[in-house]
Structure 1
Amino acid sequence: MTEIIRAQLPRGPNGEKDPNDFARSGNVHILNDAIAEQAKAAGPAPPRFHLLTPDELASRPAAQYRIKRVLPAEGIAVIYGPPKSGKTFIVLDAAAAITEGREWFGYRTRPCPIVYVGLEGEGGLSQRWQAYRLVKGDAGKDRLKFVTAQLSLLLADDITDLANAIKAARADAGIVVIDTLNAASPGADENSSVDMGRIIAAAKRLQATLGGLVLLVHHAGKELSRGLRGHSSLSGAVDAILEVSRDNNDNREWAVTRAKDGPESEPRPFRLDVVEIGTDEDGDPITSCIVEPVEHKSGEVARHRKPPGGNQKIALEAIGEALKASSEYGKSGAPDFRPCVRYDAAVDAAADRLPVEKKRTRERARLAVQGLVSAGHLSYQDDWVWLP
């Protein structure tokens, strides 16, 4: 590796001022001697890599949070869900709670500035904030800013301009919400590893420039059990993933489905309450919604909760299909009407679907099946598996 030395050029005996002067006068040796003397006085350059002892590593501070066990203070996170699931309402509610420093769904928060880049409908975002402020107040409004101008993560100038605007407002080192990833990457193919790589690199550049957390709002894929829409590199590049879901009975919930420095969470149910915020020019009411947590009834969580992990969801779907195709019923204590499959067949079915490296599919599939059994999503006895 080439070593760079910064040296003060000496004045030569014949008035030489730069290397070209020394070369023309034949006094290059004077220049070389001066540089060598300064390099000796400067001493060796510090090592580029510092090797930590186990004690030094253990003494490093723990990862900080914005919402404890939900959102880290630094890095990249994604919140996603299908259309009409309520993900934007959840994001806005969480953002407001953080700016106020109040608990959110029972989790502690640490206040910080938040910049919400809303790219899918300025009018709708305005109405959502009006509804929130009307019902829950705006105690943290000084920490909350909105951007509604169009933005492309694929344009370096857009990232630079956004970062400069955030720094000028002294809102860096907080959270930047990009709603949505699709709207912020016009023309990109989300299924392409190249385009998704560019999107990820842009989000990381924004985070490195500002510090804090970049939170991407994204859509679910057509098959909800497969998680995030688009190339799988996105899920591997982020520090936390939150899923928002809604069933056919209008039951909504969110859950942490991936956290690099913490556990996944149980689903947290919520509802959207309609709020009237005014009337339009025809005298008709203008409405929006706010998020309200919903308490589970006793015993309901154990019976109806979804598998928290992305791999578990995929595994349960695959095993469910294997059970439908099975001709074995009522094995090892299962009800007579319950189809059953062997444990290894359940692992094989899950392994065929999991989006992980081929050499790790059986290991991950086995962990997913074990997790499903432990959580009560599958019954297992004497090498047979069935749905409870």
Structure 2
Amino acid sequence: MDNIHLLSYADMCAMPEPEWLVEGLIQKRSTAVMFGKSNAFKSFLAIDIGLSVDTGQDWHGNTVSTGGVLFVATEGANGVGRLRIPGWYDHHRIDEGDRRAFLYPKEIRLDVADDITGLINAMNIRGNFALVVIDIFGGSMAGSEIEDKTARAWVHGVQRILRETGASILTVAHTGWQDDTRARMHTHFWGSFDTRLKVEGDKEAMTATLTVERHKDADSNGSWGFRMVQSNGSLIAELDASVSTGGSKKRTLSAGNKSALNALDDALQEHGVRKLGTDWPPCNVVQIDQWRRHCYLHSPEDKANTKLVAFNRARKALHDGGHIQFYDDHVWRCFG
């Protein structure tokens, strides 16, 4: 067994600032989830981001760090490899010699150690990768996306890819059945991502918006509106200032209420339990006091009474807005 290296205080202070792979969107050596309803153009936006990294082109005005990109297409791989990726390259007039993206054209079980080993070995043979795009989340595991055991094995596998290859991971996922404010997955999945990106699309208008819901280690802001244009047998995202990026219930949350939701995610990840019975939801719940303690850790206030007032205000606003629900001194996120 390798010796474990512990960081001293001096080592901690010398730790580097996070670097951006795509400025304001995805950090290097991090995990991100892009979530939204079906037909919201998530896959096309993921290709747009990934191939911007591959070619080094600015992503709609945001600086990009160039690097190898691997697309893991668990659904519709033929269309991705034959139409969507070439269509993006053709639209942006990328020379044949500069088209360096790779495709893993089938399902992969990221909760199975042997599959992780095989993927890492294949990546090491091809060279250095800066980004792995997994599309779609539900096809990337052997177990169920709502099981704790699967979630912990999957997160461990993704962290191993990140650790051993240095690549960031962008996972594309669908929203919950009844709640479009989060992806359809176990809470442990949801809480593990460094970045959460929400996509909302209008199929009739052929528009989409992408909003930063959370960065763990950076300011959580940024939103972009796109018009999807047909080109070279695919759809291409073009930045369009006329596409409104405001108006959704989730994005109108105050900074304090959004911080309280983030604290609830942290509390659910650390203390969440599953309760049995007709009065309990099919998801993890956490004691309200445990959520409150996590809120206090996020709070900029110094006085205990001020923190309590802010917590109670956020608790009421989030409940009234349909983001959370209570029962028997417990709280949970409203989803599927």
Q: Same fold (TM over 0.5)?
A: yes
Which of 80, 87, 104 pairs up with 1:147? 104
Q: 1:293 aligns with which of 222, 239, 255?
A: 239
Query: In 1, distance between residues paired with 2:240 and 2:286?
Result: 35
**Following the alignment from structure 1 to structure 2, what is the Cα–Cα distance between the partners of residues 228 and 236?**
11
SS in 2 for 1:224: coil
Provide Cα deviations, 1:155-198, integer angstroms capped at 9, x if missing partner.
322211111111111134x1111111211114x22111112112
Q: Which residue of 1 aligns with 2:224?
A: 268
- Paired position in structure 2 for 1:78: 33
The answer for the alignment partner of 1:358 in structure 2 is 288
Residue 264 of structure 2 corresponds to which residue in structure 1? none
Stretch moving more, 138-147 or 77-86: 138-147
Structure 1 residues 231 and 303, CA, compared in 2 at 3 Å: closer, same or farther? closer
Q: Quickly say closer, same or farther: Cα 1:369–1:213, change in 2 above 3 A.
A: farther
The answer for the alignment partner of 1:164 in structure 2 is 121
Q: Deviations over 1:200-253 (max 9, x none)?
A: 111112222212212222111112344011211112111111111125864420
Superposed counterparts of 1:299-310, under 5 Å = 307=251
- CA RMSD in angstroms comes to 3.5
Which residue among 140, 145, 148 is the counterpart of 1:190? Answer: 145
Unaligned runs of 5+ in 1: 5-45, 278-286, 316-353, 378-388
The alignment covers a number of residue pairs equal to 277
> Which residues in structure 2 correspond to 1:281-360 (within 5 Å)?
287-296=233-242, 307=251, 312=258, 358-359=288-289
| Distance change in 2, residues 1:247/1:122 (3 Å) | closer
In structure 2, do the counterparts of structure 1 residues 305 and 112 end up closer, same or farther at CA, with 3 Å as the change threshold? farther
> Is the 1:255–1:308 Cα contact (8 Å) retained in structure 2?
no
The equivalences for 1:1-388 within 5 A come to 48-53=5-10, 57-125=12-80, 126-138=82-94, 141-172=98-129, 174-186=130-142, 188-247=143-202, 250=205, 251-275=207-231, 277=232, 287-296=233-242, 307=251, 312=258, 358-359=288-289, 361=291, 363=295, 366=310
Specify whether residues 215 and 66 from structure 1 end up closer, same or farther in structure 2 by C-alpha distance, changes over 3 A only.
Answer: same
Unaligned runs of 5+ in 2: 262-283, 299-308, 322-336
1:351 is matched with: none
Matched to 2:237, the amino acid is V
In 1, Cα distance between the equivalents of 2:8 and 2:260? 40
Deviation of 1:302 (Å): 6.3
**Aligned in 2, Cα 1:367/1:177: closer, same or farther, shift over 3 Å?**
farther
CA gap of 1:368–1:97, structure 2 versus 1, over 3 A, is: farther
Structure 1 residues 262 and 50: CA distance shift in structure 2, 3 A: closer
Equivalents in 1 of 2:4, 2:106: separation in Å?
45
Q: CA deviation at 1:289?
A: 0.8
Shift of 1:260: 1.0
* Cα gap change, 1:313 to 1:219, in 2 (>3 Å): farther
**Which range moves more in the overlay, 246-255 or 256-265?**
246-255
Letter in 1 for 2:115: D
Are the equivalent residues in 2 in contact too, given 1:264–1:308 (CA < 8 A)? Answer: no
Aligned partner of residue 253 in structure 1, secondary structure: strand
Is the 1:267–1:305 Cα contact (8 Å) retained in structure 2? no
CA, structure 1 residues 314+180, in 2 after alignment: closer, same or farther (shift >3 Å)? Answer: farther
AA of the residue aligned to 1:135? H
